Amino acid sequence: MRNWWRIVLTFFLISHSLIFSFSQSLTLVELNCENLFDCHHDSLKQDTEWLPASLRKWTPDRYWRKVNNIGQEIISCSQSSLPDLVALVEVENDSVLRDLTRRSLLRNAGYEFLMTQSPDVRGIDVALLYQPFSFRPICYDYLDVTPLEGMRPTRDILYVQGETLNGGTLHVFVVHAPSRFGGEKATRPNRRIVMERIVDAIRLLPPDAKVIVVGDFNDYADSPSLHYLEANSLYNVTSDAIGTHGAKGTYRYEGRWQSIDHVLVSTVLCDSIVQTYVNDAPFLLEEDKKYGGVKPFRTYNGYRYQRGFSDHLPLVVRFRL
Protein backbone atom coordinates (compact mmCIF):
# COMPACT_ATOMS: atom_id res chain seq x y z
CA MET A 1 0.00 0.00 0.00
CA ARG A 2 2.79 2.43 0.88
CA ASN A 3 4.59 1.72 -2.40
CA TRP A 4 1.36 2.31 -4.30
CA TRP A 5 0.98 5.76 -2.76
CA ARG A 6 4.60 6.60 -3.63
CA ILE A 7 3.83 5.78 -7.28
CA VAL A 8 0.67 7.90 -7.16
CA LEU A 9 2.50 10.82 -5.59
CA THR A 10 5.31 10.64 -8.17
CA PHE A 11 2.72 10.68 -10.97
CA PHE A 12 1.05 13.75 -9.45
CA LEU A 13 4.35 15.59 -9.13
CA ILE A 14 5.21 14.97 -12.78
CA SER A 15 1.72 15.80 -14.05
CA HIS A 16 1.62 18.95 -11.87
CA SER A 17 4.74 20.29 -13.58
CA LEU A 18 3.43 19.42 -17.05
CA ILE A 19 0.04 21.01 -16.46
CA PHE A 20 1.58 24.29 -15.33
CA SER A 21 3.63 24.33 -18.49
CA PHE A 22 0.45 24.58 -20.56
CA SER A 23 -2.03 26.37 -18.33
CA GLN A 24 -2.20 28.86 -15.57
CA SER A 25 -4.56 27.69 -12.89
CA LEU A 26 -4.43 27.49 -9.12
CA THR A 27 -6.09 24.93 -6.88
CA LEU A 28 -6.97 25.81 -3.29
CA VAL A 29 -7.99 23.23 -0.67
CA GLU A 30 -9.43 23.90 2.78
CA LEU A 31 -9.42 21.14 5.40
CA ASN A 32 -10.24 20.97 9.08
CA CYS A 33 -7.88 18.20 10.20
CA GLU A 34 -9.86 17.33 13.35
CA ASN A 35 -7.29 17.61 16.13
CA LEU A 36 -3.93 17.10 14.42
CA PHE A 37 -1.97 16.99 17.69
CA ASP A 38 1.43 15.46 18.32
CA CYS A 39 2.03 13.12 21.29
CA HIS A 40 4.02 15.57 23.42
CA HIS A 41 2.72 17.74 26.22
CA ASP A 42 3.01 21.51 25.90
CA SER A 43 3.06 22.83 29.46
CA LEU A 44 1.52 26.12 28.28
CA LYS A 45 -1.49 24.48 26.63
CA GLN A 46 -4.40 22.22 27.57
CA ASP A 47 -3.40 19.31 25.36
CA THR A 48 -3.36 16.40 27.83
CA GLU A 49 -6.26 14.79 25.98
CA TRP A 50 -3.80 14.03 23.16
CA LEU A 51 -1.11 12.08 24.98
CA PRO A 52 -0.30 8.34 25.07
CA ALA A 53 -1.54 8.00 28.66
CA SER A 54 -4.82 9.85 28.04
CA LEU A 55 -8.25 8.28 27.59
CA ARG A 56 -7.73 8.57 23.85
CA LYS A 57 -4.42 6.68 24.05
CA TRP A 58 -2.92 9.04 21.46
CA THR A 59 0.19 6.98 20.74
CA PRO A 60 2.95 7.63 18.16
CA ASP A 61 1.46 4.90 15.94
CA ARG A 62 -1.91 6.64 15.91
CA TYR A 63 -0.28 10.01 15.37
CA TRP A 64 1.71 8.87 12.34
CA ARG A 65 -1.33 7.16 10.85
CA LYS A 66 -3.20 10.45 11.24
CA VAL A 67 -0.39 12.46 9.60
CA ASN A 68 -0.29 10.09 6.63
CA ASN A 69 -4.08 10.09 6.42
CA ILE A 70 -4.08 13.87 6.11
CA GLY A 71 -1.40 13.62 3.43
CA GLN A 72 -3.44 11.06 1.51
CA GLU A 73 -6.51 13.27 1.84
CA ILE A 74 -4.68 16.28 0.35
CA ILE A 75 -3.29 14.22 -2.55
CA SER A 76 -6.79 12.97 -3.42
CA CYS A 77 -8.26 16.48 -3.73
CA SER A 78 -7.28 16.95 -7.37
CA GLN A 79 -7.14 14.27 -10.05
CA SER A 80 -4.78 16.17 -12.33
CA SER A 81 -2.25 17.77 -9.97
CA LEU A 82 -1.37 18.49 -6.37
CA PRO A 83 -3.16 21.47 -4.81
CA ASP A 84 -1.16 24.71 -4.91
CA LEU A 85 -2.52 26.09 -1.63
CA VAL A 86 -3.87 24.09 1.32
CA ALA A 87 -5.50 25.96 4.20
CA LEU A 88 -5.40 23.74 7.28
CA VAL A 89 -7.43 24.14 10.46
CA GLU A 90 -6.86 22.43 13.84
CA VAL A 91 -3.12 21.82 13.61
CA GLU A 92 -1.14 22.02 16.85
CA ASN A 93 2.31 23.36 15.99
CA ASP A 94 5.12 23.60 13.46
CA SER A 95 6.44 20.17 14.49
CA VAL A 96 3.23 18.63 13.19
CA LEU A 97 3.51 20.65 9.96
CA ARG A 98 7.13 19.55 9.48
CA ASP A 99 6.10 15.93 9.92
CA LEU A 100 3.28 16.40 7.42
CA THR A 101 5.40 18.11 4.76
CA ARG A 102 8.72 16.30 5.32
CA ARG A 103 7.99 12.84 6.73
CA SER A 104 4.54 11.79 5.50
CA LEU A 105 3.18 10.77 2.10
CA LEU A 106 3.70 14.44 1.14
CA ARG A 107 7.44 14.37 1.78
CA ASN A 108 8.29 14.51 -1.95
CA ALA A 109 5.58 17.02 -2.81
CA GLY A 110 7.68 20.12 -2.14
CA TYR A 111 5.22 21.90 0.16
CA GLU A 112 6.36 24.75 2.41
CA PHE A 113 4.15 26.17 5.14
CA LEU A 114 3.27 29.20 7.23
CA MET A 115 1.22 29.03 10.41
CA THR A 116 0.00 31.06 13.37
CA GLN A 117 1.05 30.88 17.02
CA SER A 118 -2.24 31.65 18.71
CA PRO A 119 -3.32 32.09 22.33
CA ASP A 120 -5.93 29.34 21.90
CA VAL A 121 -5.97 27.45 25.22
CA ARG A 122 -5.86 24.02 23.56
CA GLY A 123 -2.98 25.04 21.35
CA ILE A 124 -4.60 24.63 17.94
CA ASP A 125 -3.74 26.92 15.05
CA VAL A 126 -4.27 27.46 11.34
CA ALA A 127 -1.71 27.02 8.57
CA LEU A 128 -1.19 27.45 4.85
CA LEU A 129 0.73 24.92 2.78
CA TYR A 130 1.98 26.25 -0.54
CA GLN A 131 3.84 25.08 -3.62
CA PRO A 132 6.79 27.51 -4.06
CA PHE A 133 6.79 27.23 -7.85
CA SER A 134 3.14 28.33 -8.13
CA PHE A 135 2.80 30.66 -5.12
CA ARG A 136 5.64 32.74 -3.70
CA PRO A 137 4.91 34.43 -0.34
CA ILE A 138 5.90 38.09 -0.21
CA CYS A 139 4.93 38.73 3.41
CA TYR A 140 2.71 37.29 6.12
CA ASP A 141 1.27 38.27 9.49
CA TYR A 142 -0.87 37.03 12.35
CA LEU A 143 -4.05 39.02 12.96
CA ASP A 144 -4.90 38.67 16.62
CA VAL A 145 -8.48 38.89 17.86
CA THR A 146 -9.15 40.67 21.15
CA PRO A 147 -11.62 38.48 23.10
CA LEU A 148 -14.90 39.88 24.30
CA GLU A 149 -15.67 39.79 28.00
CA GLY A 150 -16.11 36.16 29.09
CA MET A 151 -14.76 34.83 25.78
CA ARG A 152 -11.82 32.43 25.68
CA PRO A 153 -8.78 33.46 23.60
CA THR A 154 -9.31 32.34 20.03
CA ARG A 155 -7.15 31.52 17.03
CA ASP A 156 -5.23 34.24 15.22
CA ILE A 157 -6.06 34.81 11.57
CA LEU A 158 -3.21 33.96 9.20
CA TYR A 159 -2.61 36.55 6.50
CA VAL A 160 -0.34 35.74 3.55
CA GLN A 161 0.39 37.98 0.57
CA GLY A 162 1.93 36.08 -2.32
CA GLU A 163 2.71 36.15 -6.01
CA THR A 164 1.22 33.62 -8.46
CA LEU A 165 2.62 32.19 -11.68
CA ASN A 166 1.24 34.98 -13.85
CA GLY A 167 2.82 37.65 -11.66
CA GLY A 168 -0.44 38.56 -9.94
CA THR A 169 -0.80 39.07 -6.20
CA LEU A 170 -3.12 37.14 -3.89
CA HIS A 171 -4.08 38.11 -0.35
CA VAL A 172 -5.06 34.98 1.59
CA PHE A 173 -6.70 34.98 5.02
CA VAL A 174 -7.00 31.63 6.86
CA VAL A 175 -9.53 31.62 9.68
CA HIS A 176 -10.86 29.28 12.35
CA ALA A 177 -13.71 31.14 14.02
CA PRO A 178 -14.87 30.43 17.61
CA SER A 179 -17.17 27.45 18.04
CA ARG A 180 -20.87 27.43 18.89
CA PHE A 181 -20.24 25.75 22.25
CA GLY A 182 -22.61 27.44 24.68
CA GLY A 183 -25.26 28.08 22.03
CA GLU A 184 -25.31 29.67 18.57
CA LYS A 185 -26.96 32.92 19.63
CA ALA A 186 -24.85 33.36 22.75
CA THR A 187 -21.60 32.85 20.82
CA ARG A 188 -22.61 34.81 17.72
CA PRO A 189 -20.71 37.98 18.84
CA ASN A 190 -17.52 35.88 19.19
CA ARG A 191 -17.59 35.03 15.51
CA ARG A 192 -18.67 38.53 14.50
CA ILE A 193 -15.52 40.14 15.95
CA VAL A 194 -13.36 37.73 13.94
CA MET A 195 -15.14 38.79 10.74
CA GLU A 196 -14.74 42.45 11.68
CA ARG A 197 -11.01 41.90 12.15
CA ILE A 198 -10.80 40.43 8.64
CA VAL A 199 -12.81 43.23 7.05
CA ASP A 200 -10.68 45.89 8.81
CA ALA A 201 -7.55 44.27 7.33
CA ILE A 202 -9.05 44.06 3.83
CA ARG A 203 -9.94 47.77 3.92
CA LEU A 204 -6.23 48.52 4.14
CA LEU A 205 -5.62 46.78 0.80
CA PRO A 206 -6.05 48.35 -2.67
CA PRO A 207 -9.68 48.39 -3.92
CA ASP A 208 -8.86 45.91 -6.70
CA ALA A 209 -6.98 43.46 -4.42
CA LYS A 210 -7.45 39.77 -5.11
CA VAL A 211 -8.59 38.47 -1.73
CA ILE A 212 -9.36 34.94 -0.55
CA VAL A 213 -10.85 34.31 2.90
CA VAL A 214 -10.87 30.60 3.69
CA GLY A 215 -11.36 28.32 6.68
CA ASP A 216 -13.75 26.92 9.25
CA PHE A 217 -16.21 29.67 10.16
CA ASN A 218 -18.34 27.54 12.53
CA ASP A 219 -21.29 29.16 10.77
CA TYR A 220 -23.42 28.37 7.75
CA ALA A 221 -23.74 30.29 4.50
CA ASP A 222 -26.92 31.99 5.76
CA SER A 223 -25.48 32.94 9.17
CA PRO A 224 -25.00 36.58 10.23
CA SER A 225 -21.20 36.34 10.21
CA LEU A 226 -21.15 35.24 6.56
CA HIS A 227 -23.72 37.88 5.64
CA TYR A 228 -21.46 40.49 7.22
CA LEU A 229 -18.56 39.47 4.99
CA GLU A 230 -20.80 39.48 1.93
CA ALA A 231 -22.03 42.97 2.86
CA ASN A 232 -18.40 44.02 2.64
CA SER A 233 -17.89 42.93 -0.98
CA LEU A 234 -16.85 39.32 -0.43
CA TYR A 235 -18.60 36.47 -2.26
CA ASN A 236 -19.10 32.97 -0.89
CA VAL A 237 -18.16 30.87 -3.92
CA THR A 238 -18.58 27.53 -2.12
CA SER A 239 -22.05 27.95 -0.62
CA ASP A 240 -23.46 25.33 -3.01
CA ALA A 241 -20.41 23.05 -3.18
CA ILE A 242 -21.20 19.34 -2.96
CA GLY A 243 -19.42 16.06 -3.58
CA THR A 244 -19.98 13.26 -6.07
CA HIS A 245 -20.39 10.36 -3.62
CA GLY A 246 -23.21 11.60 -1.40
CA ALA A 247 -21.77 14.60 0.45
CA LYS A 248 -24.03 17.65 0.42
CA GLY A 249 -21.54 19.67 2.47
CA THR A 250 -18.26 19.33 4.33
CA TYR A 251 -19.71 18.23 7.68
CA ARG A 252 -22.56 16.01 8.82
CA TYR A 253 -24.31 16.44 12.17
CA GLU A 254 -27.15 14.16 13.32
CA GLY A 255 -27.78 12.99 9.76
CA ARG A 256 -27.83 16.44 8.20
CA TRP A 257 -25.18 17.63 5.78
CA GLN A 258 -23.94 21.15 6.51
CA SER A 259 -21.08 23.39 5.48
CA ILE A 260 -19.23 25.43 8.07
CA ASP A 261 -16.13 25.52 5.86
CA HIS A 262 -16.18 28.28 3.25
CA VAL A 263 -14.15 30.12 0.65
CA LEU A 264 -15.01 33.76 0.00
CA VAL A 265 -13.33 35.96 -2.61
CA SER A 266 -13.26 39.61 -3.61
CA THR A 267 -15.17 40.83 -6.65
CA VAL A 268 -12.17 40.81 -8.95
CA LEU A 269 -11.71 37.05 -8.46
CA CYS A 270 -15.30 35.98 -9.07
CA ASP A 271 -14.86 35.47 -12.81
CA SER A 272 -11.73 33.39 -12.17
CA ILE A 273 -13.58 30.52 -10.48
CA VAL A 274 -13.43 27.39 -12.62
CA GLN A 275 -14.77 24.76 -10.22
CA THR A 276 -15.81 24.29 -6.59
CA TYR A 277 -16.54 20.95 -4.95
CA VAL A 278 -16.34 18.86 -1.81
CA ASN A 279 -13.83 16.03 -1.99
CA ASP A 280 -15.90 13.06 -0.83
CA ALA A 281 -13.73 10.27 -2.20
CA PRO A 282 -15.18 6.94 -0.98
CA PHE A 283 -12.26 6.22 1.37
CA LEU A 284 -13.06 9.48 3.23
CA LEU A 285 -16.59 8.27 4.00
CA GLU A 286 -18.22 5.63 6.19
CA GLU A 287 -21.75 4.34 6.54
CA ASP A 288 -23.95 6.39 8.84
CA LYS A 289 -25.60 3.50 10.67
CA LYS A 290 -27.84 5.71 12.80
CA TYR A 291 -29.23 8.13 10.22
CA GLY A 292 -28.54 6.34 6.93
CA GLY A 293 -26.39 7.36 4.01
CA VAL A 294 -22.73 8.23 4.52
CA LYS A 295 -20.73 10.59 6.73
CA PRO A 296 -17.07 11.67 7.02
CA PHE A 297 -14.81 8.87 8.26
CA ARG A 298 -13.37 10.53 11.34
CA THR A 299 -10.44 9.55 13.56
CA TYR A 300 -12.52 8.97 16.68
CA ASN A 301 -16.17 8.21 17.29
CA GLY A 302 -16.44 9.62 20.79
CA TYR A 303 -13.43 8.02 22.47
CA ARG A 304 -13.44 4.98 20.22
CA TYR A 305 -10.48 5.06 17.83
CA GLN A 306 -11.44 4.04 14.30
CA ARG A 307 -8.37 4.89 12.17
CA GLY A 308 -10.21 7.49 10.09
CA PHE A 309 -9.33 10.86 8.59
CA SER A 310 -11.39 13.81 9.83
CA ASP A 311 -14.92 14.82 10.75
CA HIS A 312 -14.72 17.42 7.94
CA LEU A 313 -14.31 16.79 4.22
CA PRO A 314 -11.92 18.90 2.12
CA LEU A 315 -13.31 21.87 0.22
CA VAL A 316 -11.72 22.48 -3.19
CA VAL A 317 -11.71 25.60 -5.40
CA ARG A 318 -9.92 25.86 -8.72
CA PHE A 319 -9.06 29.32 -10.10
CA ARG A 320 -8.10 30.37 -13.62
CA LEU A 321 -5.24 32.84 -13.38
User: Tens-digit pLDDT profile for the chain (321 aa)?
Assistant: 545 555 555 555 545 444 443 458 999 999 999 999 999 999 999 999 999 999 999 999 999 999 999 999 999 998 778 999 999 999 999 999 999 999 999 999 999 999 999 999 999 999 999 999 999 999 999 999 999 999 999 999 999 999 999 889 999 999 999 999 999 999 999 999 999 999 999 999 999 999 999 999 999 999 999 999 999 999 999 999 999 999 999 999 999 999 999 999 999 999 999 999 999 999 999 999 999 999 999 999 999 999 999 999 999 999 998
Whether 263 and 236 have beta carbons less than 8 Å apart is answered as: yes
Give one DSSP letter per residue of 245-268, joined into a string: SS-SSSEEETTEEE--EEEEEEGG
Whether 306 and 287 have beta carbons less than 8 Å apart is answered as: no
Query: In terms of C-beta density within 10 A (0-12 exposed, 13-18 middle, 19 or more buried), how is residue 113 classed?
Result: middle
pLDDT value, residue 19: 45
- For residue 312, what is the DSSP state? B
Task: Pinpoint the alpha helices (H) of the chain.
Answer: 2-22, 60-75, 94-102, 184-202, 224-231
pLDDT value, residue 216: 98
pLDDT value, residue 23: 53
* Nearest by Cα to 176 from 69, 31, 21: 31
179 vs 183: CA distance, rounded Å: 9
pLDDT value, residue 298: 98
Instruction: Region of 306 please: left (phi>0), alpha (psi -120 to 50) or beta.
Output: alpha
Whether 19 and 11 have beta carbons less than 8 Å apart is answered as: no
Angle at 226 between CA 244 and CA 92, to 5 degrees: 75
pLDDT value, residue 264: 98
Query: In terms of C-beta density within 10 A (0-12 exposed, 13-18 middle, 19 or more buried), how is residue 112 classed?
Result: middle
Q: 3-class DSSP state for residue 34?
A: strand
Q: What are phi and psi of 167, to 5 degrees?
A: 85, 0
pLDDT value, residue 17: 46
